[in-house]
Structure 1
Amino acid sequence: MILIQRVRVRWTADARGAPAANARSGLARPRPLPGPLPEAEVVVHDVLADQAVGYQDREGVRAGGVALAREAGLWLGSGRASVVVDRLPGSAGYPRPSASARLFTLAAGQVGRYRANFRFTGCACSPSWYYEEWLVHVAHGPVARFGYGEPDRDVDHRVRLYGGARVGEPS
């Protein structure tokens, strides 16, 4: 089983200031897994905390084959003893979408964590921006919960969405 939990926090341009940032601080964190999880090759637990609904979690669980990972923006390739996790190109306006990117390879029993943030725009008829911060955990095998201890692999692609250096780099 490959278990994916994607937690997204979404906000609009109106919520860019410090008070709004404080309100969503800490929302991009692992959530308890709903139980019991379905038996399948891939299980995706998708959580969205959206400013439009007061950051109340909306969540769902889907189960199926490896193609299901595409819904979480990932591509999975598997060998006999490992699973390769790539980030698929998306529709973000910033950072610019690129070709798929290798995130990590997980052996059986390992957990990977991917963190990123994005600025999206609607269609050309509605040029309003919205932002998302993602926290994605991928487990190669069953886990009791995410966020307990350090993951075996950790990739941080967060950037400064309003300009400047990458998160964690000197300004």
Structure 2
Amino acid sequence: MIVVQRVLTEWTKRSRGAPGAVRRNAVPEAFPLPPAVVFHQVTAYEKDDFTPASTADDIIPVRSGIRLSHSPDGHLTVTSATDVWCRCVMVFPRRPERVVLDLPPGTWGRWRLNFRLWEEDSDWRYQKWVLNIADLPGPAPTGLFLATPPIQRDDLVQLTTPTRSRQENRIR
């Protein structure tokens, strides 16, 4: 059974520094799963003071930000689907579609990414996505994603210089 949890946090420049950034950064990267769910989305918006709200579905929506497929060896291949991130005029940084996780059967992983969005007649908005994805032989335990992920990909970038990852910025 494939289970996806997306935790989406969105803010504007008002929450780039304290005290907004403190509340924004306090949003967990995983939440307990509702029973028998396939897609669980948790959103935390600045306009709601970063109070998490969740929805659950029995299908993975097309606009989930990922494409899933099983490889011949049984691994779940998770590919980024950059065409569905936003219907905005601009998204920074631009990222190519690529495999972001390769999950052996019975495992799960976490992919973290962030970006800036701009629409005409609006200010920049910022988003952080955390996607927790499992490929299990049966139903997912409620607390599955609350543990440390066995496989993780971190594509968080410094949003003021969106061409480098945070790790690359620390090296310089």
Structure 1: which amino acid aligns with 2:150?
D
Identical positions, percent: 28
Structure 2: which amino acid aligns with 1:135?
V
* Alignment-derived partner of residue 23 in structure 2: 23
* Alignment-derived partner of residue 98 in structure 2: 101
Q: Determine which of 113, 117, 129 is the counterpart of 2:114.
A: 117
Inter-partner Cα distance in structure 2 for 1:7 and 1:103: 17
Correspondence 1:127 to 2:122: yes
Residues 35-73 of structure 1, C-alpha deviation per residue, up to 9 Å, x if partnerless?
Answer: x224xxxx1101101111111112111113xxx353220
Distance 1:70 1:152, change over 3 A: farther
* Alignment-derived partner of residue 65 in structure 2: 73
Structure (1/2) with the larger helix percentage: 2
Unaligned runs of 5+ in 1: none
Residues 10-57 of structure 1, C-alpha deviation per residue, up to 9 Å, x if partnerless?
Answer: 1112221232111212314211111x224xxxx110110111111111
* Alignment-derived partner of residue 137 in structure 1: 132
CA-based RMSD of the aligned residues comes to 1.9
Contact residue 7 and residue 41 of structure 2 kept, 8 A: yes
Q: Secondary structure at the match of 1:14?
A: helix
* Alignment-derived partner of residue 33 in structure 2: 33
Contact residue 11 and residue 130 of structure 1 kept, 8 A: yes
Residues 84-140 of structure 1, C-alpha deviation per residue, up to 9 Å, x if partnerless?
Answer: 1011113362112x3311112212211111001111112x2x232111111111000
Inter-partner Cα distance in structure 1 for 2:111 and 2:61: 14
Scaled by the length of structure 2, the TM-score of the pair is: 0.83
* Alignment-derived partner of residue 47 in structure 1: 42
Contact residue 9 and residue 28 of structure 1 kept, 8 A: no
Inter-partner Cα distance in structure 1 for 2:91 and 2:75: 33
Unaligned runs of 5+ in 2: none
Scaled by the length of structure 1, the TM-score of the pair is: 0.83
Correspondence 1:88 to 2:81: yes
Contact residue 5 and residue 45 of structure 1 kept, 8 A: yes
Inter-partner Cα distance in structure 2 for 1:99 and 1:25: 26
Q: Could you list the runs of 4 or more consecutive aligned residues of structure 1 that deviate by over 6 angstroms after TM superposition?
A: none
